[in-house]
Structure 1
């Protein structure tokens, strides 16, 4: 089940914690001591470490991961957080692609279904609250720069460069990117059917 069971008991400092993370040098390990060095000494604040692990910011040992470092770029941190939320709560997003727009009550009900009654009402309430608090800080309409960069590279191309193969799979290059086009041939013993298919393929690739 792609549904984090890590949650906060209070979200009042969540935005401040993320701001502090962005403005601090990434630690070798994100520990309670590091969190306290950022002036977050409450026991409820310590729960954010588990949430960061669930979001893929930290590994199981608390070491910052690639997503953590991308988050430090303030121009894309909200988008990185949105990406992390959609991945961590993927089961919820399979039910509703706009899960972050749902009310807390709706989120709680959907989490109850996803957890198949394995979580108490109190825990479900905290998970819903945590999800909602994270969603308020995220940008779901803007993809992180890593994904946008690939599209910019594709836009730099003038013409696609087709390369034919002999296996029913065609490869096209576009701005340094490679696309494989796989053809599933129909079941037929008539050679004219295959001739027509490959003739059409050649015509489209050469456009």
Structure 2
């Protein structure tokens, strides 16, 4: 049976994550760094050090990863945690790609199925709590929108964004437009995913607004 990452003290995750964002990036995410700089002492510190490796914040030899660096950037921290969760809990997201929206009972069912543990086992409770604590720092909206647009065509995130950018005509004589008060309307044709989940569409248009529809065109 597969194992899923969890913390023996899930409540310490917020303390560790907040400390990571405020502290300088270390040469290595070592036990000393976790216990001294992040302030997670004792056995919980050892557990946290291993956990950070399992969720992709550090490599097997403790080197900070790209996800670690993205998490420290306030603009990309939420997406970084979402990416880390999709990787660390891939077995759960394989069963439901919107696992972050599931109820506790639904999540617990997947955890029991994946691990083979009893429903009342301590590791099941801790895994569920760790997942939920980590989810508080995650932003799945932009990633889910791009994933839906990419579909099964093998398109990368950047290629999808490039395709949308290419549908926007280049602004002509911006200064003249501002002078005469001319408003130009753009028509963007998107192949939207086949879903009835309004959250998916909200995420797509939020991503368009944030990343593409800027005043610079």
TM-score range, shorter chain: 0.5 to 0.7
Partner residue, 1:157: 166
Indicate the structure (1 or 2) with the bigger Cα radius of gyration.
Answer: 1
Structure ranking higher in strand proportion: 1
Q: What residue in structure 2 maps to residue 41 of structure 1?
A: 41
- SS of alignment partner, residue 43 of structure 1: helix
Corresponding position: 1:111 with 2:111: yes
Superimposed CA distance per residue, residues 13-49 of structure 1 (whole angstroms, 9 cap, x where no aligned partner): 3112111111221111111211212333243243222
The structure where helix makes up a greater share of residues is 2
Partner residue in 2 for 1:7: 6
Superposition TM-score, scaled by structure 1 size? 0.65
Q: 1:150 to 1:49 in 2, by over 3 A?
A: farther
What is the 5 A alignment of 1:173-188?
Answer: none
Q: CA deviation at 1:103?
A: 3.0
Deviation of residue 141 (structure 1)? 0.9
Q: Which runs of 5+ in 2 are unaligned?
A: 147-155, 169-217
CA distance in 2, matches of 1:58, 1:77: 15
Equivalent residue for 2:53? 53
Match of 2:19 in 1: 20
SS in 1 for 2:141: coil
Deviation at 1:73, TM superposition (A): 0.9
CA RMSD of aligned residues (A): 2.9
Aligned length: 157
Q: Which runs of 5+ in 1 are unaligned?
A: 160-207
Partner-residue secondary structure (3-state), 1:86: helix
Q: Distance in 2 between the 1:149 and 1:19 partners? A: 29
